[in-house]
Structure 1
Protein backbone atom coordinates (compact mmCIF):
# COMPACT_ATOMS: atom_id res chain seq x y z
CA UNK A 1 0.00 0.00 0.00
CA UNK A 2 1.16 3.50 -0.83
CA UNK A 3 0.93 6.23 1.79
CA UNK A 4 -1.25 9.21 0.90
CA UNK A 5 0.26 12.26 2.64
CA UNK A 6 -2.70 14.50 1.78
CA UNK A 7 -5.86 12.39 1.51
CA UNK A 8 -8.89 13.98 -0.13
CA UNK A 9 -12.05 14.49 1.88
CA UNK A 10 -13.66 11.56 0.04
CA UNK A 11 -10.82 9.20 0.97
CA UNK A 12 -10.85 10.48 4.53
CA UNK A 13 -14.62 9.87 4.65
CA UNK A 14 -14.18 6.27 3.50
CA UNK A 15 -11.54 5.73 6.18
CA UNK A 16 -13.78 7.25 8.86
CA UNK A 17 -16.74 5.08 7.84
CA UNK A 18 -14.63 1.92 8.01
CA UNK A 19 -13.50 2.90 11.49
CA UNK A 20 -17.12 3.48 12.53
CA UNK A 21 -18.09 0.01 11.32
CA UNK A 22 -15.31 -1.57 13.37
CA UNK A 23 -16.24 0.37 16.49
CA UNK A 24 -19.93 -0.53 16.11
CA UNK A 25 -18.88 -4.17 15.87
CA UNK A 26 -17.21 -3.75 19.26
CA UNK A 27 -13.82 -4.84 17.96
CA UNK A 28 -10.41 -3.41 18.79
CA UNK A 29 -8.02 -2.62 15.96
CA UNK A 30 -5.88 -5.61 16.97
CA UNK A 31 -8.87 -7.99 16.93
CA UNK A 32 -10.13 -6.66 13.61
CA UNK A 33 -6.73 -6.81 11.96
CA UNK A 34 -6.28 -10.46 12.99
CA UNK A 35 -9.71 -11.40 11.65
CA UNK A 36 -9.13 -9.56 8.36
CA UNK A 37 -5.64 -10.95 7.91
CA UNK A 38 -3.55 -7.82 8.23
CA UNK A 39 -1.55 -6.02 10.90
CA UNK A 40 -2.98 -3.51 13.34
CA UNK A 41 -0.54 -0.95 11.94
CA UNK A 42 -1.83 -1.41 8.41
CA UNK A 43 -5.43 -1.23 9.61
CA UNK A 44 -4.65 1.97 11.50
CA UNK A 45 -3.17 3.47 8.33
CA UNK A 46 -6.33 2.55 6.40
CA UNK A 47 -8.58 4.06 9.08
CA UNK A 48 -6.63 7.32 9.02
CA UNK A 49 -6.60 7.46 5.18
CA UNK A 50 -2.82 7.27 5.12
CA UNK A 51 -3.11 4.11 3.02
CA UNK A 52 -5.66 3.35 0.35
CA UNK A 53 -7.84 0.26 0.49
CA UNK A 54 -9.18 -2.06 -2.23
CA UNK A 55 -12.88 -2.78 -2.79
CA UNK A 56 -12.21 -6.44 -1.94
CA UNK A 57 -10.66 -5.47 1.38
CA UNK A 58 -13.63 -3.18 2.12
CA UNK A 59 -16.02 -6.11 1.59
CA UNK A 60 -13.84 -8.38 3.73
CA UNK A 61 -13.91 -5.81 6.52
CA UNK A 62 -17.70 -5.53 6.22
CA UNK A 63 -18.04 -9.30 6.61
CA UNK A 64 -15.81 -9.34 9.68
CA UNK A 65 -17.82 -6.47 11.16
CA UNK A 66 -21.13 -8.27 10.37
CA UNK A 67 -22.49 -5.32 8.37
CA UNK A 68 -26.02 -6.21 7.27
CA UNK A 69 -26.60 -3.26 4.92
CA UNK A 70 -25.60 -4.37 1.39
CA UNK A 71 -26.28 -0.93 -0.09
CA UNK A 72 -23.86 0.68 2.35
CA UNK A 73 -21.22 -1.97 1.63
CA UNK A 74 -21.63 -1.47 -2.12
CA UNK A 75 -21.33 2.30 -1.71
CA UNK A 76 -18.16 2.01 0.36
CA UNK A 77 -16.63 -0.46 -2.10
CA UNK A 78 -17.42 1.96 -4.93
CA UNK A 79 -15.63 4.74 -3.04
CA UNK A 80 -12.57 2.48 -2.78
CA UNK A 81 -12.80 1.67 -6.50
CA UNK A 82 -12.80 5.31 -7.57
CA UNK A 83 -9.16 6.39 -7.73
CA UNK A 84 -9.39 8.81 -10.62
CA UNK A 85 -8.14 12.35 -10.28
CA UNK A 86 -10.79 14.92 -11.14
CA UNK A 87 -10.30 18.26 -12.88
CA UNK A 88 -9.94 19.93 -9.47
CA UNK A 89 -6.53 18.32 -8.97
CA UNK A 90 -5.02 20.87 -11.35
CA UNK A 91 -5.65 23.44 -8.61
CA UNK A 92 -3.81 21.51 -5.88
CA UNK A 93 -1.13 23.72 -4.41
CA UNK A 94 -2.83 26.76 -5.95
CA UNK A 95 -6.07 26.86 -3.96
CA UNK A 96 -6.88 25.74 -0.39
CA UNK A 97 -7.55 21.96 -0.19
CA UNK A 98 -11.07 22.67 1.14
CA UNK A 99 -12.06 24.11 -2.25
CA UNK A 100 -10.84 20.98 -4.02
CA UNK A 101 -12.76 18.84 -1.53
CA UNK A 102 -15.92 20.84 -2.27
CA UNK A 103 -15.60 20.25 -6.02
CA UNK A 104 -15.06 16.52 -5.41
CA UNK A 105 -18.10 16.41 -3.11
CA UNK A 106 -20.30 18.03 -5.75
CA UNK A 107 -18.98 15.76 -8.49
CA UNK A 108 -20.01 12.58 -6.64
CA UNK A 109 -23.29 13.83 -5.12
CA UNK A 110 -26.62 12.43 -6.32
CA UNK A 111 -28.51 15.61 -5.43
CA UNK A 112 -27.54 18.99 -4.00
CA UNK A 113 -29.54 21.34 -1.75
CA UNK A 114 -28.31 24.79 -0.76
CA UNK A 115 -29.69 27.50 1.50
CA UNK A 116 -28.13 30.98 1.54
CA UNK A 117 -29.23 34.15 3.29
CA UNK A 118 -26.50 36.63 2.32
CA UNK A 119 -24.91 35.25 -0.85
CA UNK A 120 -25.88 33.81 -4.21
CA UNK A 121 -24.91 30.11 -4.22
CA UNK A 122 -21.57 29.48 -5.91
CA UNK A 123 -23.04 27.13 -8.53
CA UNK A 124 -25.34 29.95 -9.68
CA UNK A 125 -22.85 32.84 -9.71
CA UNK A 126 -21.72 34.59 -12.88
CA UNK A 127 -17.97 35.11 -13.35
CA UNK A 128 -18.34 38.86 -12.75
CA UNK A 129 -20.29 38.33 -9.54
CA UNK A 130 -17.83 35.68 -8.29
CA UNK A 131 -14.92 38.00 -9.03
CA UNK A 132 -16.46 40.76 -6.88
CA UNK A 133 -17.07 38.28 -4.04
CA UNK A 134 -13.45 37.12 -4.06
CA UNK A 135 -12.18 40.70 -4.11
CA UNK A 136 -13.74 41.12 -0.67
CA UNK A 137 -11.92 38.15 0.87
CA UNK A 138 -9.66 38.86 3.85
CA UNK A 139 -6.71 38.56 3.94
CA UNK A 140 -6.87 40.25 0.55
CA UNK A 141 -6.20 38.03 -2.46
CA UNK A 142 -3.84 38.99 -5.24
CA UNK A 143 -5.34 39.44 -8.74
CA UNK A 144 -3.99 36.03 -9.88
CA UNK A 145 -5.43 34.37 -6.75
CA UNK A 146 -8.81 35.96 -7.48
CA UNK A 147 -8.77 34.66 -11.04
CA UNK A 148 -7.80 31.14 -9.92
CA UNK A 149 -10.78 31.10 -7.56
CA UNK A 150 -13.15 32.44 -10.20
CA UNK A 151 -11.94 29.80 -12.67
CA UNK A 152 -12.40 27.04 -10.10
CA UNK A 153 -15.89 28.25 -9.17
CA UNK A 154 -17.04 28.31 -12.78
CA UNK A 155 -15.61 24.84 -13.44
CA UNK A 156 -17.58 23.56 -10.44
CA UNK A 157 -20.76 24.57 -12.26
CA UNK A 158 -20.19 21.78 -14.78
CA UNK A 159 -22.30 19.50 -12.58
CA UNK A 160 -25.34 21.53 -13.68
CA UNK A 161 -24.50 21.43 -17.40
CA UNK A 162 -23.21 17.90 -18.02
CA UNK A 163 -25.25 15.24 -19.84
CA UNK A 164 -26.47 13.82 -16.50
CA UNK A 165 -26.85 17.04 -14.47
CA UNK A 166 -27.27 16.85 -10.71
CA UNK A 167 -30.75 17.79 -9.41
CA UNK A 168 -30.11 21.05 -7.57
CA UNK A 169 -32.30 23.06 -5.19
CA UNK A 170 -31.20 26.52 -4.06
CA UNK A 171 -33.11 28.34 -1.32
CA UNK A 172 -32.12 32.01 -1.46
CA UNK A 173 -33.22 34.76 0.91
CA UNK A 174 -34.28 38.11 -0.52
CA UNK A 175 -31.34 39.74 1.27
CA UNK A 176 -28.92 37.85 -0.98
CA UNK A 177 -30.80 38.97 -4.09
CA UNK A 178 -30.53 42.63 -3.10
CA UNK A 179 -26.80 42.62 -2.33
CA UNK A 180 -25.06 45.09 -4.65
CA UNK A 181 -21.92 43.21 -5.69
CA UNK A 182 -20.06 45.20 -8.33
CA UNK A 183 -22.70 47.73 -9.30
CA UNK A 184 -25.92 47.72 -11.37
CA UNK A 185 -24.57 46.01 -14.50
CA UNK A 186 -23.13 43.05 -12.60
CA UNK A 187 -26.22 42.80 -10.38
CA UNK A 188 -28.52 42.76 -13.41
CA UNK A 189 -26.38 40.11 -15.10
CA UNK A 190 -26.45 37.96 -11.98
CA UNK A 191 -30.22 38.20 -11.49
CA UNK A 192 -30.85 37.48 -15.18
CA UNK A 193 -28.65 34.41 -14.87
CA UNK A 194 -30.71 33.20 -11.89
CA UNK A 195 -33.91 33.49 -13.91
CA UNK A 196 -32.36 31.54 -16.79
CA UNK A 197 -30.98 28.81 -14.54
CA UNK A 198 -34.34 28.45 -12.80
CA UNK A 199 -35.85 27.45 -16.15
CA UNK A 200 -33.75 24.29 -16.26
CA UNK A 201 -35.73 21.20 -15.24
CA UNK A 202 -33.11 19.95 -12.79
CA UNK A 203 -32.66 23.34 -11.07
CA UNK A 204 -35.09 24.65 -8.46
CA UNK A 205 -34.55 28.21 -7.22
CA UNK A 206 -36.79 29.09 -4.27
CA UNK A 207 -36.88 32.55 -2.69
CA UNK A 208 -37.65 33.40 0.93
CA UNK A 209 -38.90 37.02 0.87
CA UNK A 210 -38.41 39.49 3.70
CA UNK A 211 -42.11 39.34 4.55
CA UNK A 212 -41.82 35.63 5.38
CA UNK A 213 -40.48 36.80 8.73
CA UNK A 214 -38.17 34.75 10.91
CA UNK A 215 -37.27 31.23 9.88
CA UNK A 216 -35.03 28.37 11.04
CA UNK A 217 -31.52 28.52 9.70
CA UNK A 218 -31.45 32.31 9.33
CA UNK A 219 -27.92 33.62 9.33
CA UNK A 220 -26.17 30.49 8.12
CA UNK A 221 -25.35 28.87 4.79
CA UNK A 222 -26.13 25.18 4.38
CA UNK A 223 -24.99 22.97 1.52
CA UNK A 224 -26.33 19.41 1.57
CA UNK A 225 -24.90 16.73 -0.73
CA UNK A 226 -26.80 13.45 -0.92
CA UNK A 227 -24.67 10.33 -1.25
CA UNK A 228 -25.61 6.85 -2.55
CA UNK A 229 -26.97 5.96 0.91
CA UNK A 230 -28.10 8.32 3.71
CA UNK A 231 -25.12 7.37 5.87
CA UNK A 232 -22.83 8.90 3.23
CA UNK A 233 -24.59 12.25 2.94
CA UNK A 234 -22.48 15.32 3.74
CA UNK A 235 -23.21 18.89 4.80
CA UNK A 236 -20.78 21.66 3.86
CA UNK A 237 -20.90 24.72 6.11
CA UNK A 238 -19.20 28.06 5.47
CA UNK A 239 -17.86 29.40 8.75
CA UNK A 240 -15.74 32.41 9.71
CA UNK A 241 -12.72 30.20 10.46
CA UNK A 242 -13.15 28.16 7.29
CA UNK A 243 -15.45 25.50 5.80
CA UNK A 244 -16.56 22.47 7.80
CA UNK A 245 -17.88 19.09 6.66
CA UNK A 246 -20.58 17.41 8.75
CA UNK A 247 -21.30 13.69 8.39
CA UNK A 248 -22.60 12.54 11.79
CA UNK A 249 -25.94 10.82 11.15
CA UNK A 250 -27.83 12.66 13.90
CA UNK A 251 -26.66 16.04 12.65
CA UNK A 252 -27.43 15.14 9.03
CA UNK A 253 -31.01 14.44 10.02
CA UNK A 254 -31.21 17.84 11.71
CA UNK A 255 -29.99 19.63 8.60
CA UNK A 256 -32.44 17.73 6.38
CA UNK A 257 -35.28 18.89 8.63
CA UNK A 258 -33.95 22.43 8.64
CA UNK A 259 -33.81 22.56 4.85
CA UNK A 260 -37.31 21.07 4.61
CA UNK A 261 -38.68 23.81 6.86
CA UNK A 262 -36.88 26.55 4.94
CA UNK A 263 -38.18 25.17 1.67
CA UNK A 264 -41.72 25.11 3.03
CA UNK A 265 -41.46 28.83 3.85
CA UNK A 266 -40.13 29.78 0.43
CA UNK A 267 -42.11 30.82 -2.61
CA UNK A 268 -42.63 28.09 -5.21
CA UNK A 269 -40.56 27.96 -8.40
CA UNK A 270 -42.78 30.18 -10.53
CA UNK A 271 -43.38 32.70 -7.76
CA UNK A 272 -39.65 32.79 -7.03
CA UNK A 273 -38.83 33.43 -10.68
CA UNK A 274 -41.31 36.29 -10.84
CA UNK A 275 -39.91 37.67 -7.59
CA UNK A 276 -36.37 37.77 -9.02
CA UNK A 277 -37.69 39.38 -12.20
CA UNK A 278 -39.45 42.08 -10.16
CA UNK A 279 -36.18 42.95 -8.40
CA UNK A 280 -34.39 42.95 -11.76
CA UNK A 281 -36.92 45.37 -13.25
CA UNK A 282 -36.62 47.71 -10.29
CA UNK A 283 -32.90 48.28 -10.87
Structure 2
Protein backbone atom coordinates (compact mmCIF):
# COMPACT_ATOMS: atom_id res chain seq x y z
CA UNK A 1 0.00 0.00 0.00
CA UNK A 2 1.32 3.41 -0.98
CA UNK A 3 2.16 5.67 1.92
CA UNK A 4 0.03 8.77 2.43
CA UNK A 5 1.62 12.17 1.91
CA UNK A 6 2.55 13.60 5.36
CA UNK A 7 0.30 16.67 5.48
CA UNK A 8 0.02 18.92 8.53
CA UNK A 9 -3.18 17.17 9.61
CA UNK A 10 -1.66 13.68 9.32
CA UNK A 11 1.49 14.70 11.17
CA UNK A 12 -0.55 16.31 13.96
CA UNK A 13 -2.78 13.25 14.24
CA UNK A 14 0.17 10.86 14.27
CA UNK A 15 2.11 12.80 16.89
CA UNK A 16 -0.98 13.16 19.08
CA UNK A 17 -1.66 9.42 18.89
CA UNK A 18 1.97 8.69 19.72
CA UNK A 19 1.82 10.98 22.77
CA UNK A 20 -1.47 9.44 23.95
CA UNK A 21 -0.08 5.92 23.54
CA UNK A 22 3.03 6.84 25.52
CA UNK A 23 0.90 8.45 28.26
CA UNK A 24 -1.19 5.25 28.39
CA UNK A 25 2.03 3.19 28.63
CA UNK A 26 1.14 0.98 25.69
CA UNK A 27 3.54 -0.39 23.09
CA UNK A 28 3.02 -0.01 19.36
CA UNK A 29 2.49 -3.76 19.16
CA UNK A 30 -0.24 -3.72 21.81
CA UNK A 31 -2.01 -0.76 20.20
CA UNK A 32 -1.71 -2.21 16.69
CA UNK A 33 -3.29 -5.49 17.82
CA UNK A 34 -6.38 -3.60 19.03
CA UNK A 35 -7.07 -2.41 15.47
CA UNK A 36 -5.80 -5.60 13.79
CA UNK A 37 -2.84 -3.85 12.25
CA UNK A 38 0.90 -4.46 12.41
CA UNK A 39 3.19 -2.38 14.60
CA UNK A 40 4.86 -1.20 11.40
CA UNK A 41 1.58 0.12 10.05
CA UNK A 42 0.83 1.97 13.28
CA UNK A 43 4.35 3.43 13.15
CA UNK A 44 3.54 4.85 9.71
CA UNK A 45 0.40 6.45 11.12
CA UNK A 46 2.31 7.97 14.05
CA UNK A 47 4.86 9.37 11.58
CA UNK A 48 2.17 11.06 9.51
CA UNK A 49 2.51 8.63 6.60
CA UNK A 50 -0.63 6.57 7.08
CA UNK A 51 -4.26 6.99 7.96
CA UNK A 52 -6.87 5.26 10.11
CA UNK A 53 -10.55 4.74 9.55
CA UNK A 54 -13.09 6.16 12.02
CA UNK A 55 -13.70 2.81 13.75
CA UNK A 56 -9.98 2.12 14.11
CA UNK A 57 -9.47 5.53 15.66
CA UNK A 58 -12.32 4.99 18.11
CA UNK A 59 -10.90 1.64 19.21
CA UNK A 60 -7.47 3.19 19.79
CA UNK A 61 -8.94 6.04 21.85
CA UNK A 62 -10.90 3.52 23.95
CA UNK A 63 -7.70 1.51 24.46
CA UNK A 64 -5.81 4.62 25.55
CA UNK A 65 -8.64 5.73 27.83
CA UNK A 66 -9.08 9.09 26.08
CA UNK A 67 -12.33 10.88 26.91
CA UNK A 68 -13.94 14.30 26.78
CA UNK A 69 -12.64 17.23 24.77
CA UNK A 70 -9.34 15.56 23.92
CA UNK A 71 -11.20 12.61 22.39
CA UNK A 72 -13.30 14.96 20.23
CA UNK A 73 -10.15 16.81 19.14
CA UNK A 74 -8.46 13.59 17.99
CA UNK A 75 -11.58 12.50 16.10
CA UNK A 76 -11.70 15.91 14.39
CA UNK A 77 -8.02 15.53 13.44
CA UNK A 78 -8.90 12.12 12.01
CA UNK A 79 -11.57 13.66 9.80
CA UNK A 80 -9.18 16.40 8.64
CA UNK A 81 -6.42 13.90 7.90
CA UNK A 82 -8.69 11.89 5.58
CA UNK A 83 -9.69 14.85 3.41
CA UNK A 84 -8.24 14.71 -0.07
CA UNK A 85 -9.37 18.05 -1.44
CA UNK A 86 -6.43 20.43 -2.07
CA UNK A 87 -5.99 23.39 0.26
CA UNK A 88 -3.33 26.03 0.76
CA UNK A 89 -3.08 26.61 4.51
CA UNK A 90 -4.43 24.60 7.43
CA UNK A 91 -5.88 26.66 10.28
CA UNK A 92 -5.74 24.80 13.60
CA UNK A 93 -9.04 25.78 15.23
CA UNK A 94 -9.18 22.72 17.51
CA UNK A 95 -8.81 22.98 21.32
CA UNK A 96 -5.33 23.21 22.88
CA UNK A 97 -3.41 23.93 19.66
CA UNK A 98 -0.18 24.64 21.57
CA UNK A 99 0.09 20.96 22.47
CA UNK A 100 0.30 20.13 18.79
CA UNK A 101 2.83 22.91 18.16
CA UNK A 102 5.13 21.39 20.79
CA UNK A 103 4.56 17.83 19.52
CA UNK A 104 5.65 18.96 16.06
CA UNK A 105 8.67 20.92 17.25
CA UNK A 106 9.81 18.10 19.53
CA UNK A 107 9.73 15.60 16.64
CA UNK A 108 11.28 17.85 13.98
CA UNK A 109 14.84 17.17 12.82
CA UNK A 110 15.46 20.89 12.23
CA UNK A 111 13.75 24.07 13.41
CA UNK A 112 14.33 27.41 11.67
CA UNK A 113 12.81 30.27 13.71
CA UNK A 114 12.85 33.98 12.94
CA UNK A 115 11.26 36.83 14.92
CA UNK A 116 11.28 40.60 14.58
CA UNK A 117 11.12 42.67 17.77
CA UNK A 118 10.86 39.82 20.28
CA UNK A 119 13.08 36.99 21.50
CA UNK A 120 11.90 33.74 19.85
CA UNK A 121 9.92 31.59 22.26
CA UNK A 122 12.25 28.61 22.16
CA UNK A 123 15.16 30.55 23.66
CA UNK A 124 13.28 32.76 26.12
CA UNK A 125 14.54 32.64 29.71
CA UNK A 126 12.14 31.54 32.49
CA UNK A 127 11.84 35.15 33.76
CA UNK A 128 11.23 36.45 30.23
CA UNK A 129 8.53 33.79 29.77
CA UNK A 130 6.93 34.70 33.08
CA UNK A 131 6.87 38.40 32.19
CA UNK A 132 5.44 37.81 28.70
CA UNK A 133 2.68 35.60 30.11
CA UNK A 134 1.87 38.07 32.86
CA UNK A 135 1.51 40.82 30.25
CA UNK A 136 -1.03 38.70 28.38
CA UNK A 137 -3.14 38.03 31.48
CA UNK A 138 -6.46 39.82 31.05
CA UNK A 139 -5.70 40.61 27.39
CA UNK A 140 -5.35 37.36 25.47
CA UNK A 141 -7.37 35.42 28.06
CA UNK A 142 -9.68 36.41 30.89
CA UNK A 143 -7.79 37.53 33.99
CA UNK A 144 -6.70 34.35 35.72
CA UNK A 145 -3.54 33.76 37.74
CA UNK A 146 -4.14 30.02 37.46
CA UNK A 147 -4.20 30.10 33.67
CA UNK A 148 -1.16 32.36 33.60
CA UNK A 149 0.79 29.87 35.73
CA UNK A 150 -0.38 26.99 33.52
CA UNK A 151 0.83 28.82 30.42
CA UNK A 152 4.21 29.53 32.03
CA UNK A 153 4.61 25.88 33.01
CA UNK A 154 3.61 24.76 29.54
CA UNK A 155 6.16 27.05 27.85
CA UNK A 156 8.94 25.80 30.11
CA UNK A 157 7.93 22.19 29.39
CA UNK A 158 8.04 23.14 25.70
CA UNK A 159 11.67 24.18 26.15
CA UNK A 160 12.51 20.94 27.94
CA UNK A 161 10.93 18.70 25.32
CA UNK A 162 12.57 20.44 22.37
CA UNK A 163 16.00 21.23 23.82
CA UNK A 164 16.64 18.55 26.41
CA UNK A 165 14.94 15.31 25.30
CA UNK A 166 15.11 13.02 22.27
CA UNK A 167 17.68 13.16 19.51
CA UNK A 168 19.65 16.43 19.18
CA UNK A 169 18.20 18.60 16.42
CA UNK A 170 19.50 21.40 14.25
CA UNK A 171 18.17 24.71 15.60
CA UNK A 172 18.55 27.99 13.73
CA UNK A 173 17.16 30.90 15.74
CA UNK A 174 17.40 34.42 14.29
CA UNK A 175 15.98 37.68 15.64
CA UNK A 176 16.41 41.40 15.09
CA UNK A 177 18.72 43.33 17.42
CA UNK A 178 15.92 45.63 18.60
CA UNK A 179 14.47 42.58 20.41
CA UNK A 180 17.24 43.08 22.96
CA UNK A 181 16.31 46.70 23.60
CA UNK A 182 12.55 46.39 24.10
CA UNK A 183 12.35 46.30 27.92
CA UNK A 184 10.45 43.19 28.98
CA UNK A 185 10.29 43.11 32.77
CA UNK A 186 13.12 45.59 33.27
CA UNK A 187 16.89 45.47 33.12
CA UNK A 188 17.32 42.41 35.35
CA UNK A 189 15.00 40.29 33.19
CA UNK A 190 16.70 41.41 29.97
CA UNK A 191 20.15 40.79 31.42
CA UNK A 192 19.02 37.33 32.49
CA UNK A 193 17.66 36.75 28.99
CA UNK A 194 21.01 37.57 27.40
CA UNK A 195 22.86 35.32 29.86
CA UNK A 196 20.32 32.56 29.20
CA UNK A 197 21.03 32.63 25.47
CA UNK A 198 24.79 32.59 26.05
CA UNK A 199 24.38 29.55 28.29
CA UNK A 200 22.19 27.81 25.70
CA UNK A 201 24.82 28.36 23.03
CA UNK A 202 27.44 26.81 25.28
CA UNK A 203 25.28 23.79 26.13
CA UNK A 204 23.84 23.15 22.66
CA UNK A 205 26.44 23.20 19.88
CA UNK A 206 23.69 22.55 17.29
CA UNK A 207 21.84 25.70 18.41
CA UNK A 208 22.66 28.56 16.05
CA UNK A 209 21.47 31.86 17.61
CA UNK A 210 22.08 34.79 15.28
CA UNK A 211 21.16 38.47 15.35
CA UNK A 212 20.18 40.81 12.52
CA UNK A 213 21.76 44.20 13.41
CA UNK A 214 19.58 47.28 13.72
CA UNK A 215 21.72 48.96 11.04
CA UNK A 216 20.85 46.29 8.46
CA UNK A 217 19.50 47.78 5.26
CA UNK A 218 16.54 46.27 3.37
CA UNK A 219 15.52 43.41 5.65
CA UNK A 220 12.53 41.87 3.80
CA UNK A 221 11.22 40.25 6.99
CA UNK A 222 10.53 43.31 9.13
CA UNK A 223 7.31 43.21 11.12
CA UNK A 224 6.80 39.48 11.11
CA UNK A 225 8.09 36.08 12.08
CA UNK A 226 8.02 32.51 10.84
CA UNK A 227 8.93 28.98 11.88
CA UNK A 228 9.96 26.18 9.51
CA UNK A 229 9.92 22.57 10.68
CA UNK A 230 11.83 19.90 8.77
CA UNK A 231 11.11 16.25 9.51
CA UNK A 232 13.24 13.25 8.61
CA UNK A 233 11.97 11.78 5.36
CA UNK A 234 9.13 14.25 5.14
CA UNK A 235 8.22 17.60 3.66
CA UNK A 236 8.74 20.95 5.40
CA UNK A 237 5.93 22.55 7.40
CA UNK A 238 5.84 26.26 8.13
CA UNK A 239 3.76 28.62 10.21
CA UNK A 240 3.80 32.34 10.84
CA UNK A 241 3.80 34.13 14.17
CA UNK A 242 0.49 35.68 15.24
CA UNK A 243 -0.35 37.94 18.16
CA UNK A 244 -3.71 36.29 18.70
CA UNK A 245 -5.83 33.60 17.15
CA UNK A 246 -5.20 30.12 15.72
CA UNK A 247 -2.00 29.23 13.92
CA UNK A 248 -2.07 28.71 10.16
CA UNK A 249 0.22 25.97 8.89
CA UNK A 250 1.59 25.62 5.37
CA UNK A 251 2.86 22.49 3.64
CA UNK A 252 2.38 23.26 -0.06
CA UNK A 253 5.44 24.15 -2.15
CA UNK A 254 3.95 27.43 -3.38
CA UNK A 255 3.94 28.60 0.26
CA UNK A 256 6.96 26.78 1.69
CA UNK A 257 9.44 27.88 -0.95
CA UNK A 258 8.95 31.65 -0.35
CA UNK A 259 9.19 31.05 3.41
CA UNK A 260 12.46 29.15 2.89
CA UNK A 261 13.84 31.92 0.67
CA UNK A 262 12.88 34.51 3.29
CA UNK A 263 14.68 32.60 6.03
CA UNK A 264 17.72 32.16 3.81
CA UNK A 265 17.77 35.92 3.24
CA UNK A 266 17.69 36.80 6.96
CA UNK A 267 20.45 34.23 7.49
CA UNK A 268 22.53 36.17 4.97
CA UNK A 269 21.77 39.47 6.74
CA UNK A 270 22.41 38.18 10.28
CA UNK A 271 25.69 38.24 12.12
CA UNK A 272 27.55 34.94 12.34
CA UNK A 273 27.04 32.71 15.36
CA UNK A 274 30.37 33.82 16.83
CA UNK A 275 29.70 37.51 16.20
CA UNK A 276 26.20 37.21 17.66
CA UNK A 277 27.65 35.53 20.73
CA UNK A 278 30.18 38.34 21.05
CA UNK A 279 27.43 40.97 20.77
CA UNK A 280 25.51 39.29 23.59
CA UNK A 281 28.63 39.06 25.74
CA UNK A 282 29.35 42.76 25.19
CA UNK A 283 25.81 43.63 26.35
CA UNK A 284 26.46 41.80 29.61
CA UNK A 285 29.75 43.62 30.08
CA UNK A 286 28.01 46.94 29.46
CA UNK A 287 25.58 46.18 32.28
CA UNK A 288 22.41 45.23 30.46
Gap regions ≥5 residues in structure 1:
1-8, 16-51, 60-71, 85-90
Deviations 1:65-124 (A, max 9, x none): xxxxxxx999643787xx89xxxxxx969x952211111111221110100112111111
Q: 1:180 aligns with which of 183, 190, 193?
A: 183
- Name the Cα RMSD after superposition: 3.5
4+ residue segments displaced more than 4 Å: 12-15, 52-59, 72-76
Q: TM-score, normalised by structure 2?
A: 0.66
1:154 aligns to what? 156
Q: TM-score, normalised by structure 1?
A: 0.67
Change (3 A) 1:202 1:54: farther
Deviations 1:7-35 (A, max 9, x none): xx6547679xxxxxxxxxxxxxxxxxxxx
Deviations 1:36-84 (A, max 9, x none): xxxxxxxxxxxxxxxx99689989xxxxxxxxxxxx999643787xx89
Change (3 A) 1:229 1:251: farther
Partner Cα separation in structure 2 for residue 236 and residue 54 of structure 1: 33
1:124 aligns to what? 123
The Cα of 1:258 is off from its aligned counterpart by 0.7
1:197 aligns to what? 200
2:281 aligns to what? 277
Partner Cα separation in structure 2 for residue 54 and residue 99 of structure 1: 30
Aligned residues: 218
The answer on whether the counterparts of 2:172 and 2:209 sit within 8 Å (CA) in structure 1 is yes
Q: 1:144 aligns with which of 143, 146, 152?
A: 146
Change (3 A) 1:115 1:188: same
